[in-house]
Amino acid sequence: MNAIKPLISFRWMLLLAVLAGLAGCASNQYPAAPKEDNAPAWNYLIGPGDSVNVFVWRNPEVSGNFPVRPDGKMTMSLVEDMPASGKTPSQLARDLEKALSKYIQEPIVTVVVAGGVGPFSQQIRVIGQATKPQALNYRENMSLVDLMIAVGGITDFAAGNKAYILRIVDGKQTRLGVRLEDLLQGGDISADVPVRPGDVLVVPESFF
């Protein structure tokens, strides 16, 4: 009887190992993230922490570099508490022209963003078993590879092929599966997909 117990224990251990292997190889339960980005053209929006260069034609005393405060507003000569966050540079320029027209005849304003951070709604967040989970500023044509380089890849405890992107599609939050292990460890470039402003990449922990 004593000889049977080790045999039973060994069979249970073998069974658990097989189940763990099957779990690790299981495909992502979410629909795959699209390889082509069909989203509308992306426009940079000004956000808190940005610095904007405002040039007012023929009025250098009004022109200058101005920070966007944490409340999303900016203050410059002749204009106080102008909402800036969530606007494109061109939209902000038109609003400043309207505000400055009280003091300057037909002002012409140009706005250039220096040291852009962007609004929180356009930032990409990486959470879970990434080496350096963080929020990142979106850049045009950014992809999953760029995201992994920025966060230093995934940890040894990550279930990379079960990772997913949380994305707002048609006003609803959608989960889209990605294959981080295939991309990072297998070098499968087909697993690289575009990311969008506002995406949240979730890297779950492996249970085996």
pLDDT in tens, 136-168: 999 999 999 999 999 999 999 999 999 999 999
Q: Which residue has the tokens 């009025």?
A: 59
Q: Mean pLDDT, to the nearest integer, of 35-57?
A: 90
> What span, in angstroms and rounded, lies between the C-alpha atoms of 144 and 133?
14
pLDDT at 41: 84
| Token output for 29 | 């339960």
Q: Which residues are paired to 115 by β-bridges?
A: none
- Per DSSP bridges, beta strands 64-67 and 73-76 are unpaired
Burial 44-67 (b: 16+ CB within 10 A, else e): bbbbbbbbbebebeebeebbeebe
For residue 42, count other CB atoms closer than 10 A to its CB.
Answer: 15
Q: What is the chain's length? A: 208
CA angle (173, 175, 177) in 5-degree steps: 160
52-86 pLDDT, tens digit each? 999 999 999 999 999 999 999 999 999 999 999 99
Alpha carbon distances (Å) from 58 to 48, 54, 108, 200: 28, 12, 9, 45
Q: Mean pLDDT, to the nearest integer, of 34-49?
A: 87
165-169 — which CB contacts under 8 Å span 24+ positions?
165/33, 165/195, 165/199, 165/200, 165/201, 165/202, 166/199, 166/200, 166/201, 166/202, 167/33, 167/196, 167/198, 167/199, 167/200, 168/198
What percentage of the chain exceeds 90 in pLDDT? Answer: 77
Query: Which three-class secondary structure state does DSSP give residue 103?
Result: coil
46, 88 Cβ separation under 8 angstroms: yes
Q: Which residue has the tokens 């078993």?
A: 129
36 versus 156: the higher-pLDDT residue is: 156
Phi-psi region of 15 (alpha: psi -120 to 50; beta: other; left: phi over 0): alpha
Q: Is the pTM of this model over 0.85?
A: no
